[in-house]
Amino acid sequence: MQTQNALGALFLVFLGMVEVRARQPCSPKYLRATAMVCVCNATYCDTVDPVSLPDVGSFVKYTTSRDGQRLERSEGKTAAKSGASGGIFYTYDPSVRHQYVKGFGGSLTDSAAINILHLSYAAQNQLLCSYFSEEGIEYNLLRWPIGCSDFSTRPYTYDDRCVNDFELKCFELAPEDTKLRIPLLHRIMALTGRPLSLVSSPWTSPAWLRVNNKVYGKSRIKGEPGDRYHKAWARYFIRFFEEYAKYNITFWAFSSQNEPITALFISREDFPCNYFSPQHQRDFIIQDLGPALAASPHADVRLMILDDGRCHLPNWADQVIGNSTAAAFVSGIGIHWYFDSVTPAGLTLDVTHHLYPDFFLLYTEACNGYLDWDVKVILGSWERGTYYSSNILTVRGPPCYDQKFVALRR
């Protein structure tokens, strides 16, 4: 198989769908000798051939290459026996199942919304179609920051007007929600041909709930689990779901905190983060968040723990869902890709799944250019594209267990 100018051919064997439309090819623009992008503007954007099922004995191949191919579809015949056609031989046994893939997607952060809305309306539609429609790559997962994130232009939460507002009487969504992200989400929902699952995560809480009395910076929730600060923070999640329900938006899952540990090692003083140890997260779930969620109309929203690097596994899972009371409120474990190269999947993901097979593993964040010295944006970078692709294909390690995972991109 030729791999010099391609990610490699991914062979997909299906059982009976029919191709109904032709694709529009990539319109290439070369930025450097080794960097090319497909132009998407108000009048033209490349589309993807629909997934279709070949006859028995045939395969369908989708190829992306450095030379400009973008998920180009082709067909071929499978060999009758190993070695008959030369090259790589694949065997598919439908009775053997290793993992269930929930889907793929990205994050609609404030910065993403701002950049999309700076395009012309027609170009916005083309871009959204390329990500979410049946003519595009059909993202079906979307991560959603609860309040500000490190991809926001300002620090904010949904209860900044009052101090010690334990009853959350001043709670209100921000303009970034009501004027930017929610309107875009409604347009996305109108484009999708299959259900869209939303996953939410908070970066920080209102200043009056935090030890440093600021929305940003390295800090933690005041007091201890079970007290009025933690009760208010638990109610904050429920109010978030209630306010979004008014816009006919529901969530599939959420985590109780984005990067509860890693944020401590970030040098930026303006980074919004709440510190949680696994024991603190466990007790918060047992005494505050779990009961509040279970008693609310949103009890079907799945709660995730960790939402940080897999290097903290399996210890984090042992500390939280190793406790049966906490485990009763939890559905899964959120994971970030940072430093995966030095934390083997077999010693983290596989072991965790083996110990806790009833909890899903969800990759919730991956971002190129995250180190302080990295170039933040490199248009047309093939290397960054293959970095994402390789991580998706190799994330699970040895096929030892019935591991469940999904990869999201920020």
Tell me which residues are annotated as active site.
259, 365
How far apart CA 308 and CA 255 sit, in angstroms, is 10
- 262 Rama sector, left if φ>0, alpha if ψ -120 to 50, beta otherwise: alpha
Which pair of structure tokens corresponds to residue 86?
Answer: 């030369």
Which pair of structure tokens corresponds to residue 206?
Answer: 């209102």
Read off the amino acid at residue 227: D
Q: CA 96 → CA 47, 330, 391, distances in Å?
A: 33, 28, 23
Q: CA 189 → CA 114, 124, 182, 195, 223, distances in Å?
A: 18, 14, 10, 8, 40
**CB under 8 Å to 12, separation ≥6 — which residues?**
51, 59, 60, 61, 62
Q: CA 111 → CA 27, 53, 274, 367, distances in Å?
A: 26, 38, 21, 14
- Chain position carrying tokens 């009961």: 291
Beta bridge partners of 77: 58
How far apart CA 245 and CA 251 sit, in angstroms, is 9
